[in-house]
Amino acid sequence: MPNAGSLPSAVSAPARILIVGKRHLRRVMDGYIVHHNAGCSHQGDGLELHAPDDEQNVIPFPTPADRIRRRRVLGGLLNKYQQAA
């Protein structure tokens, strides 16, 4: 029998947002669009920047885990990672 405790929380409990109105939908969609278009590289895009002058979203390797900070976006639906100051 598989160990259910070994699944990451993102797999066992995906993040969801309950939209409660038109203004809320617009705010959520604006936040998602900014996240997607703000220079974040994606595997589906070949890790390319979206525009030539976008700032790279790169954490140098190797970086100890305690030097990486996660910021939850859209109630945890998305995460942004950056190197700690």
Q: Give the pLDDT confidence of 66-80 residue by residue, as tens digits.
A: 888 888 888 778 887
- If phi > 0 it is left, if psi is from -120 to 50 it is alpha, else beta; for residue 39 that is left
> φ and ψ at 19, to 5 degrees?
-80, 125
Identify the pLDDT of residue 51: 57
The beta strands (E) that lie in the chain are given as 68-73, 78-83
Q: What local confidence, expressed as pLDDT, does residue 35 receive?
A: 75
- pLDDT of 33 > 50? The answer is yes
For residue 48, what pLDDT is reported? 61
Q: What is the pLDDT of residues 36-75, one digit of tens each?
A: 776 555 555 555 655 555 556 666 778 888 888 888 888 7
Give the pTM. Answer: 0.48
